[in-house]
Structure 1
Amino acid sequence: MHRILTWAPLAALLALAGCASLPASPAADAASAPAAAATHDVAGGTEPAPVVAPGAERLAPPPAAEPLPAPAPVVTVQAPRDLWERIGRGFAMPDLQDERVAQWERWYASRPDYLQRMVDRGSKYLFHIVEELERRGLPQELALLPFIESAFNPQAVSHAKAAGMWQFMPATGRHFDLKQNAFRDDRRDVLASTRAALDYLERLHRMFGDWHLALAAYNWGEGNVQRAIRRNQAAGLPTGYLDLRMPEETRHYVPKLQAVKNLVRAPQAHGVALPVVGNHPFFDTVRIERDIDVALIARLADVSEADFRTLNPAHNKPVIMAAGTPEILLPWDNALLFAERLKAWRGPTASWTAWRVPRDMTVAQAARELDWSEAELRQANRIPPRMRLRAGSTILVPREGRLDRDVPEHLADHGQILLAPEAPPVRTVRVKARKGDTLASVARRHGVRVADLAAWNGLAPSSALRPGQVLTVQTRAKAQPAPVRMARAKTARRPAAPGAQATRAGAATPPKARVAQR
């Protein structure tokens, strides 16, 4: 309890302090007596004045003491029990009141297996996202957005070609400096894509001044949201998220996020048991100075290659190029082990490098020049059949002989595989000239040039033909469309609108074509 000191006790203390200098004569004592008997007004009445010790009367009395403000209640700072509680403490967006929210709450709550899979994947990345949001002062609801975008699958690819757990379109990814080349796709990179997504969301919030509209723009495209707002303004209508005319996917987008938010905030109220996610980092970053094989990383870190790629999903090649990716992610307990073992490693670190194709050539020609198997070259670089390499392509090749150096930065960051259909094979046929034929009419009939036809047959372009004369004609077989068999990342199954027929393992049929412009 706070106590207020009054002037009387303070004067008494001064009196005690002044005892050593009190005069010894009775006159001095008498001189002090009137002061002791004096009184002063207090709130309309009188009370005895405080006793002032001799020698202390020169001190001016202090002003009347003002009551101190009531103390604020003491708040106990307690660490969150888990990451869910930490996320919940950071919720800052206004709740969306819409009937679709309850529909999606029921949808998620009725699919515990689907929730389990999403959380299992997301638990590896959530701590990093939460830390970034806190560092930027952004609402923690955004940590739940990858649940809506990709079910936290960094390998997810939509039919509109959006990729990664934040689902960046190729052009938007390049705008936010997410490299997409022959060796990596940063739209899938955990750190790079999170940085880009939060940059984009911050920009959208500055643009619209409303988180629900910013989220709609993230899904639908900022230009579409701006046009929808202008239409409502012209019609004298409100311009909030629920007031705009928008596609069904965007209409359900924020309600889905609100539903997940409500489940995180009060899982028991919805009959949901969220898997525990610890409030600690799952991975650590490790710097690499040289190109290094994924197989060697897995061996030194004592992890599987599959687990390594889960944390480093931007890479789909057997080697990590230090010039383009100077840091890799490893499970927290394995990162230090890897760093120590790598420091002690004395063997080569990479068995692969990059080669820039000097001219247009077939894969078979490139394989002969590299003294390598055509089938292995196609497999390592995912080159479809009946496609040739164009000049300037950058392909992955084994380190042998002269090709034994680390990949330079300009290739690690910008190398592309440029392909073109192979020229169809030449077919030679013999034809007979008809009555009245000329070289021009025969060439026209077979789709070749007169000069070529004359050269193939040792004739001058103006030579006359006699009926029945045999001519040699070279034609190219019609090329069949080459089937593209590039390896594709598995597409994340997005939940459809409530009531849609569920497919295997609790995932639902994906909604209609995405309209997102990102």
Structure 2
Amino acid sequence: MIRIPIWILAGLLLLAPGVSRGQALTEWPSLAPRVRFWQDVYTRYSTRQAVIHDEHHPEVVYGVIDLGGEPDGGLVPPPETDKEIMRHAGDRVADILRRLDGLAADSARMGAMERQVASAVKKLPASISPAAAASRVRVQRGQSDRFRLGLIRAGRYQERYRQMARQAGVPEDLAYLPHVESAFDPLARSGAGAAGIWQLMPGTGRQYLTIDSTRDERLDPWFSAMAAYAYLRQAHDLLGSWPLAITAYNHGPNGMRRAQKQFGNDLPAIIENYKARTFGFASRNFYAEFLAARRIASDPARWFGAMAVDPVMEFETFTVPQFVEPATLETYFSFSRQVQRDLNPALEPTVWQGDGLIPAGYKLRVPAGMAADLAAGWESLPGALRFHRTVRAEWYEVRRGDNLGVIARRHGTSVSALRRLNGLGGKRFIYPGQKLKTHEARQFVPVDGDSSERGPVHVVRRGETLSGIGRRYGVALAELIRVNGMGDASLLLVGEVLVLPAAH
């Protein structure tokens, strides 16, 4: 699919017809038990607890285990021992279910755990025997402290997200979806490669946003929201149902279209009966999770008591005229690197680590009142600290099926060089979404203080050569090399900004 520039996307969303709050976000009575399960996960059980339940009927709960330690909102990765504890607890319940018929014949042999499991399994449909239920045992970690932290973070974004939803022509309550996806963590990343508050996958992100060596706009709270709303609106245009469109956010529009052909818009029937390899627990429960999150987030005091939430983010935008280092803005404008990073999470670590610059033309978010200061003082910055051309380090985002050998051949390098550049040592494994440096950073070409011979710029596109660009603008190759301070005309990267002589 062709990528839609975000400024065009914003305009299209502004033209979209409005949708009233909550329109057609159906709450089927048959989904109520499933919604209550997620309500408990989000409000009753912390990340240091885990719920043992039936995979297909999650409201059938066999027990709750304590993982030890203090809840931390999910800020610290859980210890590996948690997985072992949860697996062992699930296995124990499954073993009880397999033995339950025999135990029922001799109730004296049943302990407290056996009686608890025996009571819970009676809530399953009569057609499901205890032995069959043994293969459907699942363990779900609690989320109450994480959800509470998400409610606090949501204060920064929620009001504007609802406004953006109205402009996009989608239900305002879709602004609650990040509670399910990321607990409103703008830097959240999943093992599958999803990123940001809205957990957009790389392929989806590239349809609407810019993802390159200096920025990943999936991590931008506002651009990613516009992309998520556009995706959901397109899913609704295809399916004609908001519950199905929301489920498609997890399962994909085409997958939901196949389900719809079998069961229409009856989502409970789809959840109960649709069979597809990728339509697993997460997809079956996604809409119920959303309904539970909406119920809690629309009245958080009912569930968590009074709490202070983060203030609404206030900022201005400043379009950066030339490439610049974050340190320069800190030194000359007292714009601390930490505040820069907090306001601009889409800028990649390469920018903060010195391998890249804030790109020319980037709409930098700055504290309220600072944009005018930057505009007034920009030209007074030393020319050596402003760059009109950057030849940056080359980075590659690992895709499913990649290995170091394949990546090395694709980029004309070696496995040993990739290991050295990325500090991989003897590691054998890489993962989808991981950023690997394929070549060293080469040079940044500064503004020299004399702008008399600098004119318009040209952004290098895929397949272009320096000689071809010169012919297009009627500029001699040698002159193009001289004006841009290039040592090697062959070192040309997609996205580089070339300065043309002033006459052009």
Q: In structure 2, what is the Cα distance between the partners aligned to 1:182 and 1:341?
A: 28
Aligned partner of 1:396 in structure 2 is 441
In the superposition, relative to structure 1, how do residues 273 and 93 fare at CA in structure 2: closer, same or farther (>3 Å)? farther
Structure 1 SS opposite 2:217? coil
Q: In structure 2, what is the Cα distance between the partners aligned to 1:163 and 1:105?
A: 25
- After TM superposition, give the deviation of residue 249 of structure 1 in Å: 0.9
Aligned partner of 1:433 in structure 2 is none
Q: In structure 2, what is the Cα distance between the partners aligned to 1:113 and 1:340?
A: 45
Q: In structure 1, what is the Cα distance between the partners aligned to 2:268 and 2:337?
A: 46
In the superposition, relative to structure 1, how do residues 331 and 135 fare at CA in structure 2: closer, same or farther (>3 Å)? same
Q: Does 1:289 align with 2:321?
A: yes
- After TM superposition, give the deviation of residue 345 of structure 1 in Å: 3.1
- After TM superposition, give the deviation of residue 201 of structure 1 in Å: 0.7
Q: In structure 1, what is the Cα distance between the partners aligned to 2:217 and 2:191?
A: 18
Which of 196, 203, 220 aligns to 1:164? It is 196
TM value normalised by structure 2: 0.51
Q: In structure 1, what is the Cα distance between the partners aligned to 2:218 and 2:258?
A: 28
Q: In structure 2, what is the Cα distance between the partners aligned to 1:121 and 1:250?
A: 25
Aligned partner of 1:94 in structure 2 is 25
Equivalences for residues 20-31 of structure 1 within 5 A: none
Q: In structure 2, what is the Cα distance between the partners aligned to 1:190 and 1:303?
A: 20
In the superposition, relative to structure 1, how do residues 126 and 308 fare at CA in structure 2: closer, same or farther (>3 Å)? farther
Aligned partner of 2:43 in structure 1 is 109
Whichever residue aligns with residue 243 of structure 1, its letter is A
Q: Does 1:345 align with 2:381?
A: yes
Q: In structure 1, what is the Cα distance between the partners aligned to 2:460 and 2:370?
A: 31
Which of 146, 156, 164 aligns to 2:178? It is 146
Structure 2 SS opposite 1:332? coil
Q: Deviations for 1:145-182, whole angstroms, at most 9, x for unmatched residues?
A: 122112222322212112222222222222x2323222
Structure 1 SS opposite 2:441? strand
Unaligned runs of 5+ in 1: 1-88, 233-237, 367-373, 415-518
Q: In structure 2, what is the Cα distance between the partners aligned to 1:401 and 1:350?
A: 6
Equivalences for residues 344-383 of structure 1 within 5 A: 344-350=380-386, 353-355=390-392, 360=412, 378=421, 382=422
Equivalences for residues 6-405 of structure 1 within 5 A: 90-97=21-28, 98-110=32-44, 113-174=145-206, 176-232=207-263, 239-244=265-270, 245=274, 246-276=279-309, 281-300=313-332, 302-316=334-348, 317-318=350-351, 319-323=356-360, 325-342=361-378, 344-350=380-386, 353-355=390-392, 360=412, 378=421, 382=422, 384=424, 395-399=440-444
Equivalences for residues 470-481 of structure 1 within 5 A: none
Q: In structure 1, what is the Cα distance between the partners aligned to 2:446 and 2:43?
A: 59
In the superposition, relative to structure 1, how do residues 398 and 272 fare at CA in structure 2: closer, same or farther (>3 Å)? farther
In the superposition, relative to structure 1, how do residues 204 and 365 fare at CA in structure 2: closer, same or farther (>3 Å)? closer
Whichever residue aligns with residue 164 of structure 2, its letter is E
Structure 1 SS opposite 2:384? coil
Aligned residues of 1:163 and 1:169 also touching (Cα < 8 A): yes
Aligned residues of 1:353 and 1:396 also touching (Cα < 8 A): no
Aligned residues of 1:300 and 1:342 also touching (Cα < 8 A): no
Aligned residues of 1:119 and 1:275 also touching (Cα < 8 A): no
Whichever residue aligns with residue 322 of structure 1, its letter is P
Aligned residues of 2:195 and 2:219 also touching (Cα < 8 A): yes
In the superposition, relative to structure 1, how do residues 332 and 226 fare at CA in structure 2: closer, same or farther (>3 Å)? same
- After TM superposition, give the deviation of residue 293 of structure 1 in Å: 0.9
In the superposition, relative to structure 1, how do residues 277 and 163 fare at CA in structure 2: closer, same or farther (>3 Å)? closer
Higher alpha-carbon Rg:
1
When structure 1 is superposed on structure 2, of 101-110 and 216-225 the one drifting more is: 101-110
Q: Deviations for 1:476-504, whole angstroms, at most 9, x for unmatched residues?
A: xxxxxxxxxxxxxxxxxxxxxxxxxxxxx
In the superposition, relative to structure 1, how do residues 332 and 221 fare at CA in structure 2: closer, same or farther (>3 Å)? same
Q: In structure 1, what is the Cα distance between the partners aligned to 2:244 and 2:347?
A: 34
Q: In structure 2, what is the Cα distance between the partners aligned to 1:402 and 1:336?
A: 22
Q: In structure 2, what is the Cα distance between the partners aligned to 1:265 and 1:192?
A: 24
Whichever residue aligns with residue 125 of structure 1, its letter is Y
- After TM superposition, give the deviation of residue 299 of structure 1 in Å: 4.2
CA RMSD, 1 decimal: 4.2
Whichever residue aligns with residue 354 of structure 1, its letter is V
Whichever residue aligns with residue 207 of structure 1, its letter is L
Structure 1 SS opposite 2:147? helix
Q: In structure 1, what is the Cα distance between the partners aligned to 2:221 and 2:180?
A: 16
- After TM superposition, give the deviation of residue 189 of structure 1 in Å: 2.7
Q: In structure 1, what is the Cα distance between the partners aligned to 2:252 and 2:358?
A: 34
Number of residue pairs matched by the alignment: 301
- After TM superposition, give the deviation of residue 365 of structure 1 in Å: 10
- After TM superposition, give the deviation of residue 399 of structure 1 in Å: 3.2
Structure richer in helix, relative to its length: 2
Q: In structure 2, what is the Cα distance between the partners aligned to 1:330 and 1:142?
A: 27
Q: In structure 1, what is the Cα distance between the partners aligned to 2:158 and 2:197?
A: 11
In the superposition, relative to structure 1, how do residues 409 and 155 fare at CA in structure 2: closer, same or farther (>3 Å)? farther
Aligned partner of 1:409 in structure 2 is 459
- After TM superposition, give the deviation of residue 196 of structure 1 in Å: 1.5
In the superposition, relative to structure 1, how do residues 333 and 90 fare at CA in structure 2: closer, same or farther (>3 Å)? farther
Q: In structure 1, what is the Cα distance between the partners aligned to 2:439 and 2:247?
A: 39
Name the structure, 1 or 2, with higher relative contact order (CA <8 Å, separation 6+).
1
In the superposition, relative to structure 1, how do residues 413 and 186 fare at CA in structure 2: closer, same or farther (>3 Å)? farther
Structure 1 SS opposite 2:219? coil
- After TM superposition, give the deviation of residue 243 of structure 1 in Å: 1.5
Whichever residue aligns with residue 258 of structure 1, its letter is L
Aligned residues of 2:301 and 2:307 also touching (Cα < 8 A): no
Q: Deviations for 1:284-306, whole angstroms, at most 9, x for unmatched residues?
A: 22111100112223445544423
Whichever residue aligns with residue 177 of structure 2, its letter is L
In the superposition, relative to structure 1, how do residues 213 and 363 fare at CA in structure 2: closer, same or farther (>3 Å)? closer
Unaligned runs of 5+ in 2: 1-19, 47-143, 395-410, 428-436, 465-504
Structure 2 SS opposite 1:187? helix
Q: In structure 1, what is the Cα distance between the partners aligned to 2:256 and 2:285?
A: 15
Q: Deviations for 1:420-470, whole angstroms, at most 9, x for unmatched residues?
A: xxxxxxxxxxxxxxxxxxxxxxxxxxxxxxxxxxxxxxxxxxxxxxxxxxx
- After TM superposition, give the deviation of residue 262 of structure 1 in Å: 1.4
Structure 1 SS opposite 2:366? strand
- After TM superposition, give the deviation of residue 131 of structure 1 in Å: 2.6
- After TM superposition, give the deviation of residue 116 of structure 1 in Å: 4.1
Whichever residue aligns with residue 146 of structure 1, its letter is P
